[in-house]
Amino acid sequence: EAGVTQFPSHSVIEKGQTVTLRCDPISGHDNLYWYRRVMGKEIKFLLHFVKESKQDESGMPNNRFLAERTGGTYSTLKVQPAELEDSGVYFCASSGGTGRHEQYFGPGTRLTVT
């Protein structure tokens, strides 16, 4: 069974540009999460989908970030316009239970804003 996949693995963009990250969760997992780690900091929660609905978006830093989950399958995280402080590694995770079960993480997308 395929794990959580993320695309691209690495993205380099200029400040002010737009970038869209994609996450494909494990098939059948209703819960999908986004996290990120910026340089030197801890991994931080961004938001949580249950199917196509946003369950918790308390970690989204500002309105330059937009997450969607079409049809409750894959998810995208768009950053528009990107700022230097958005550089970091963005992780996606999914889980199949009620939220109390383990989360399976993807390999991450390394975003570099120059």
Partner 1 sequence: DAKTTQPPSMDCAEGRAANLPCNHSTISGNEYVYWYRQIHSQGPQYIIHGLKNNETNEMASLIITEDRKSSTLILPHATLRDTAVYYCIVRPPWSYGKLTFGQGTILTVHP
48, 60 contact by CB (below 8 A): no
Would you say 15 or 54 has its CB closer to partner 1? Answer: 54
Shortest CA distance to 51 belongs to which of 30, 28, 81?
30
Q: Tell me which of 11, 19, 25, 31 binds partner 1, using CB under 8 A.
A: 31
Q: Given the DSSP bridges, would you call strands 109-113 and 10-13 parallel, antiparallel or unpaired?
A: parallel
47-106 positions binding partner 1, by CB under 8 A: 48, 50, 55-56, 59, 91, 93, 95, 98-100, 102-106
Shortest CA distance to 73 belongs to which of 4, 6, 2, 24?
24
Would you say 17 or 56 has its CB closer to partner 1? Answer: 56
CB neighbours of residue 39 within 10 Å = 8
Q: Tell me which of 51, 73, 84, 107 binds partner 1, using CB under 8 A.
A: 107
23, 3 contact by CB (below 8 A): no
Would you say 19 or 47 has its CB closer to partner 1? Answer: 47
Place of tokens 């939220």: 99
- Minimum Å distance from CB 104 to partner 1? 7
Is 4 among the residues that bind partner 1 (CB under 8 A)? yes
List contacts with partner 1 (CB under 8 A): 4, 31, 33, 35, 42-45, 48, 50, 55-56, 59, 91, 93, 95, 98-100, 102-108
